[in-house]
């Protein structure tokens, strides 16, 4: 094994061990707290619920007492059944609700779940005292006396809280807690990997390069190790010795290996996307709160408008953003983008009407577009050509991990802090991403190009448009993939699952499979694709997989069919999207010499994203004509045909070149 | 561990323990917030039952258009609601005056925050409200012409939440501390054991490099390299630096260094 391979293997081994160990202990500790706390809630929730039921039963008792006061004998009180049935229907957690007179005869309330046959052992809760609950069969049983107008007891109202209701409350909590634990694990992993890469990987890679240079007889400079630790002291000693031997002072340099730069971009992007996606789950609800008549638009259109404006601006900013990128460092461009997002988030928090919310979301959208662009550009600048698919897949993976984390945390934050406070939190986290980028991004930038004259520019863009492989990649891979993605994940799957009777939590979990698959599969597949140089095959097979997934709803016209379609889309796009990005510099090399890579990427992103809004509209038309299953299958067919055509385009271009 | 835990080991141990404690704190805060929300919702629902009952009585009284302020029985309705629920600290009946609302007794206007809550969800059947006295519900009072003639606000004391919340939070904090202490110790120990083999070898080579430099500057005999490492982490460091240091050693031997040439 070469020295580089041995170093890389040893560092990877150390990172895997430390992260696995930390996650194991952290998750075990979280489980050790959560299990008894859930048990405690199982005890406490029924008691608290009973406080509500005491009030309910007291009111029912008062109504019975009044009827008796009006001279209606208990035996003739025919409305009692209806009274109790209505009360039970209004409180679904109540399993049974019945009135038993002083003779022990059940007088009313026979509907609902059958009450336990013997209720005599249930202790009475007297008015004004704490509820006395006992567990009886499948219920938490409660009993309150009904006092007549003369002060005598007329009987008892018995109420049973269904234990399965409490179990459901706890179960819902378990899914929430699992979500929090998964997000915690993701954030912990990112933090630990950043620390290990900064403190161990970077200096060891620096040492490895120094060792190789020294062996080769080249002037050896050492990458500096931060802090006062053992590695830093060691590097300083070696640098000093090297200076003594070669007669010139040698101080540790600050060269940063590409793996570390990739980590820095990854962490900055992760923090930024978490901030940006905090509002994802509640933006339509917030829009509805601010709903006011605007430009005679319908309510349905208005609710979705902030989302449309946000995504549209993120796509539209790509072309001017690419020009901007040539005039500033990656660090400055990232800071500008993240600051705009922070301003947009705070603006959203302060919005008092729909118009101001739209402006704020547009500003956030511009920020998102810039940050995306600069992160992709920075990755392509730092990562060696042969590892670009891995670099882009890292970008894709971290985007989906952060989206999952941000959305989950945002939902929880909005529930407890409110929408506006969550927007402010989002702005604060975006500022953290800014600070991190300032500290770690260095001074890398895109090569400056002389301004292209308008006529030359249009001619260059014209040549790009007729480049068959670039156009094929855009129109036969990126565009259909993006449209199917937006249509299935954000529109068809949630609506179809809702129609199939899935709960909101189930819909969230099934749709979430897409993001999780992308997050975990994309980097693994990319490393494999990089090793073999199979980018074109990866794009074609990935698109085919998405298409095949669309057909899954034909034999499985149920939740499983949707799950398969979503999972195959995640897997297929894990193969397809990173490779599309990697192929751009290769398929449009001559265009890149005139326009520059950032513009090529900008045109590509704008070309796939701007029309992506047609995805849900087209899906809606197809659903109206064919139904949900056939609409998804039609999209699948489009993807499959596009993938086959793309294979022909690349095959024909290769033959022509040959 | 002594001074050995500084540097990389110290930073890693500090970070993993900090992440552990942060995770448990977030989880604890989440559990506490959930329980608080559950309590608030449950108590709101309890109070809502009282409010709707009182509201229905008021609604029946003003069904045919009698102004709320002229309904003499309103005080009895309010007193009965108060008597049935010991947690209630305030009941206020507001009368509609154009688009505004003002308390029938005292004339104080509807608080701005409550009016805003109503504007945000105009179709809601009730609105959760709070002020310095407590938290509660605001329900509309309508007559038989489906005209909103007033609002009824019931506030209950925060004390109804305090005791159960304190009990639950106390239990949660106890469990968290009970788990966090041993888990932090275990994590610190395991992280130390994992990282040690890789970094423990560094001071050996640091000392050797320092000794080489000192010997080179003084023209003294060069020290022998350290014995090979026995752990995989140590062998990696050996593999990285042993040969380059040996080459430097050869250079020193071939071209003795004068102290004036040193620059660092």
**B218-255 pLDDT tens trace:** 878 888 888 888 877 777 778 777 777 777 788 777 76
| Per-residue model confidence as pLDDT tens digits over B104-155 | 887 788 898 898 888 877 778 899 998 888 889 999 988 877 788 889 999 9
pLDDT tier at A368, thresholds 50, 70, 90: very high
State the Cα–Cα distance between residues A442 and A504, nearest whole angstrom. 44
Q: How far is CA A589 from CA A323, A464, A559, A586, A595, in A?
A: 18, 10, 45, 5, 10
- Report pTM: 0.73
State the Cα–Cα distance between residues A608 and A473, nearest whole angstrom. 10
Task: Measure in Å the smallest separation between the Cα of A261 and chain B Cα atoms.
Answer: 20
Contact A176 B30 (CB under 8 A): yes
pLDDT tier at A398, thresholds 50, 70, 90: confident
* Closest partner CB to B210 (pick from A14, A229, A237): A237
Contact B86 A128 (CB under 8 A): yes
Contact A26 B212 (CB under 8 A): no
Contact A55 B121 (CB under 8 A): no
Mean pLDDT of A287-311: 71
Beta bridge partners of B6: none
Cβ contacts of A167 within 8 Å, gap of 6 or more:
A42
Chain B residues with CB under 8 Å of A22 CB are: 16, 19-20, 187, 191
Closest CA in chain A for residue B236: A7
- φ, ψ dihedrals at B92, nearest 5°: -125, 135
Mean pLDDT of A402-427: 83
Closest by CA to A395, choosing from A312, A479, A478, A518, is A518
B204 at interface of A, judged by CB pairs closer than 8 A: no
What average pLDDT does chain A have? 82
| Per-residue model confidence as pLDDT tens digits over A330-346 | 899 999 999 999 999 99
Task: Measure in Å the smallest separation between the Cα of A52 and chain B Cα atoms.
Answer: 4
Closest by CA to B131, choosing from B113, B151, B105, is B113
Cβ contacts of A307 within 8 Å, gap of 6 or more:
A283, A284, A361
B144 at interface of A, judged by CB pairs closer than 8 A: no
Contact B194 A210 (CB under 8 A): no
Of A188-192, A374-378, A503-507, the one with minimum mean pLDDT is: A503-507
Closest CA in chain A for residue B176: A33
- φ, ψ dihedrals at B144, nearest 5°: -75, -5
Contact B121 A289 (CB under 8 A): yes
Cβ contacts of B64 within 8 Å, gap of 6 or more:
B143, B144
The interface predicted TM-score (ipTM) is 0.74
Interface test with A, best of B1, B4, B13, B15 (most A CBs within 10 A): B15
* Closest partner CB to A230 (pick from B7, B23, B120): B7
Report pLDDT for A298. Answer: 63
Of A171-175, A422-426, B8-12, the one with minimum mean pLDDT is: A171-175
Report pLDDT for A138. Answer: 84
pLDDT at A354 over 70: yes
- φ, ψ dihedrals at A104, nearest 5°: 85, 10
B86 at interface of A, judged by CB pairs closer than 8 A: yes
B21 at interface of A, judged by CB pairs closer than 8 A: no
Residue A320: Cβ within 10 Å count: 13
Beta bridge partners of B155: B90, B136
3 state DSSP class of A74: helix
């Amino acid at each position: 094994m070469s020295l580089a391979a041995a170093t890389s293997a040893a560092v990877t081994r150390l990172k895997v061990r430390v992260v696995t160990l930390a996650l194991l202990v952290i998750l075990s500790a979280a489980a050790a707290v959560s299990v008894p706390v859930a048990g405690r809630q199982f005890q406490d929730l029924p008691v608290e619920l009973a406080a509500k039921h005491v009030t309910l039963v007291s009111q029912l008792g008062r109504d019975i007492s009044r009827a008796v006061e009006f001279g209606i004998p208990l035996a003739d009180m025919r409305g009692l059944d209806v009274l109790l049935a209505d009360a039970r229907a209004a409180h679904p957690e109540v399993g049974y609700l019945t009135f038993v007179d002083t003779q022990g005869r059940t007088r009313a309330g026979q509907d609902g779940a059958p009450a336990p046959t013997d209720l005599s052992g249930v202790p009475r809760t007297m008015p004004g005292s704490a509820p006395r609950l006992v567990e009886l069969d499948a219920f938490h049983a409660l009993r309150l006396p009904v006092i007549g107008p003369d002060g005598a007891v007329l009987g008892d109202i018995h109420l049973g809280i269904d234990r399965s209701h409490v179990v459901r409350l706890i179960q819902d909590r378990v899914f929430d807690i699992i979500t929090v634990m998964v997000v915690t694990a993701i954030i912990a992993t990112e933090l630990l990997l950043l620390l290990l890469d900064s403190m161990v990987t970077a200096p060891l890679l620096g040492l490895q390069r120094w060792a190789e240079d020294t062996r080769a007889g080249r002037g050896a400079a050492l990458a500096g190790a931060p802090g006062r630790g053992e590695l830093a002291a060691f590097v300083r000693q070696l640098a000093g010795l090297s200076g003594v031997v070669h007669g010139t002072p040698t101080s540790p340099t600050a060269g940063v290996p590409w793996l570390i730069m990739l980590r820095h971009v990854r962490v900055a992007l992760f923090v930024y996307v978490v901030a940006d996606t905090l509002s994802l789950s509640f933006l339509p609800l917030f829009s509805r709160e601010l709903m006011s008549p605007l430009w005679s638009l319908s309510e349905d259109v208005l609710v979705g408008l902030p989302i449309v404006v946000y995504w549209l601006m993120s796509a539209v900013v790509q072309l001017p953003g690419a020009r901007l990128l040539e005039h500033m460092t990656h660090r400055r461009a990232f800071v500008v983008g993240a600051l705009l997002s922070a301003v947009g988030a705070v603006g959203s928090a302060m919005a008092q009407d729909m118009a101001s919310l739209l402006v704020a979301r547009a500003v956030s959208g511009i920020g998102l577009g810039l940050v995306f662009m600069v992160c992709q550009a920075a990755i392509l600048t730092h990562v060696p050509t042969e590892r670009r698919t891995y670099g882009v897949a890292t970008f894709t993976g971290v985007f989906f991990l952060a989206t999952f984390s941000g959305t989950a945390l945002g939902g929880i934050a909005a529930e407890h802090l409110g929408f506006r406070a969550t927007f402010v939190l989002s702005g604060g986290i975006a500022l953290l991403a800014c600070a991190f980028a300032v500290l770690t991004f260095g001074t890398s930038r895109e090569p400056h190009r002389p301004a292209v004259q308008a006529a030359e520019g249009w001619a260059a863009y014209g040549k790009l448009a007729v480049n068959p492989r670039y156009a094929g990649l855009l129109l036969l891979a990126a565009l259909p993939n993006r449209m199917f993605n937006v249509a299935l994940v954000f529109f068809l799957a949630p609506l179809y699952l809702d129609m199939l009777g899935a709960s909101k939590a189930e819909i969230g979990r099934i749709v979430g499979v897409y993001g999780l698959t992308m997050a975990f599969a994309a980097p693994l597949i990319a490393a494999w694709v990089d090793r073999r140089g199979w980018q074109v095959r990866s794009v074609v097979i990935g698109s085919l997989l998405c298409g095949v997934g669309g057909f899954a709803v034909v034999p499985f016209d149920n939740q499983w069919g949707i799950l398969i379609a979503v999972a195959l889309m995640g897997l297929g796009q894990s193969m397809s999207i990173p490779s599309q990005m990697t192929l751009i510099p290769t398929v449009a090399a001559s265009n890149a010499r005139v326009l520059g890579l950032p513009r090529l990427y900008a045109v590509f992103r704008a070309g796939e994203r701007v029309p992506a809004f047609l995805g849900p509209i087209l899906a809606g038309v197809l659903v109206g004509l064919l139904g949900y299953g056939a609409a998804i299958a039609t999209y699948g067919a489009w993807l499959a045909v596009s993938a086959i055509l793309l294979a022909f385009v690349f095959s024909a271009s290769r033959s022509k070149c040959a | 561990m002594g001074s050995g835990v500084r540097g990389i080991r110290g930073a890693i141990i500090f970070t993993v323990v900090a992440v552990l404690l942060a995770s448990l704190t977030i989880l604890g805060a989440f559990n506490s917030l959930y329980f608080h929300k559950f309590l608030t919702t449950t108590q709101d629902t309890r109070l809502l039952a009282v409010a709707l009952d009182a509201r229905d009585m008021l609604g029946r009284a003003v069904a045919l258009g009698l102004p709320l302020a002229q309904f003499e029985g309103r005080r009895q309705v309010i007193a009965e609601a108060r008597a049935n629920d010991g947690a209630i600290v305030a009941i206020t009946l507001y009368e509609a005056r154009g688009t505004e609302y003002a308390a029938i007794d005292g004339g104080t206007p509807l608080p701005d925050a409550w009016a805003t809550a109503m504007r945000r969800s105009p179709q809601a059947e009730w609105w959760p409200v709070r002020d310095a006295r407590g938290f509660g519900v605001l329900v509309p009072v309508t007559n038989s012409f489906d005209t909103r003639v007033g609002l009824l606000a019931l506030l209950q004391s925060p004390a109804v939440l305090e005791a159960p919340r304190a009990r639950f939070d106390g239990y949660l904090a106890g469990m968290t501390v009970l788990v966090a202490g041993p888990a932090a110790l275990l994590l610190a120990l395991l992280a130390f054991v994992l990282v040690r083999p890789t970094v423990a070898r560094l001071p050996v080579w640091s000392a050797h490099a320092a000794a080489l430099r000192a010997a080179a500057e003084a023209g003294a005999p060069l020290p022998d390299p350290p014995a090979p490492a026995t752990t995989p982490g140590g062998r990696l460091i050996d593999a990285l630096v042993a040969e380059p240091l040996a080459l430097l050693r050869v250079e020193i031997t071939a071209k003795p260094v004068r102290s004036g040439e040193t620059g660092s």
